Amino acid sequence: MTTTDPLEYFGAFLVANLRDQALHSFDNLSAGRWKAPALKKLQFDMAKMPEAYREIARRAIVECIDSAIHDFLFALKEQADFENRIIINVDGTDVVKVSQGIHGEPYGDEGWFAKYSHYGSHPDIA
């Protein structure tokens, strides 16, 4: 991450360490690449699914991850507006307070997903 802007740094960090890691994990699981004994049956079951169904499952996973990120960021905004108990500081800057609406930062052509995700924006958005 090369950005010095605290809000952008937080976005890049969140995308790389939450969204992209989760999608990487799903892709490896779907391809049967994990060696963990606890994942063998799940990988075996997924391997029996038609490719089209695995792709639908992946789209659903992206939706769930992106929705969870949105809801988490919205909850941070609510915290900042009403309780102010949880503060996310990057280099001394409260990133929730400097954003116009942190829950919307990941979306759009200039959003965090488009700018920082290895996987790009939501797959169902043209």
pLDDT category of residue 121 using cuts at 50, 70 and 90: confident
% of residues, the chain, pLDDT over 90: 90
Closest alpha carbon to 29 in 19, 40, 21, 20: 40
Residue 95's CB is within 10 A of a number of other CB atoms, namely 24
What would you measure as the largest C-alpha separation in the chain, in angstroms? Answer: 50
Is the pLDDT confidence value at 125 over 60?
Answer: no
Taking only the tens place, the pLDDT of each residue in 39-79 is: 999 999 999 999 999 999 999 999 999 999 999 999 999 99
Cα-based angle 53, 57, 59 (whole degrees, multiple of 5): 115
The answer on pLDDT for 20 being more than 70 is: yes
Return d(Cα 113, Cα 23) in angstroms, integer.
12
pLDDT at 126 over 60: no
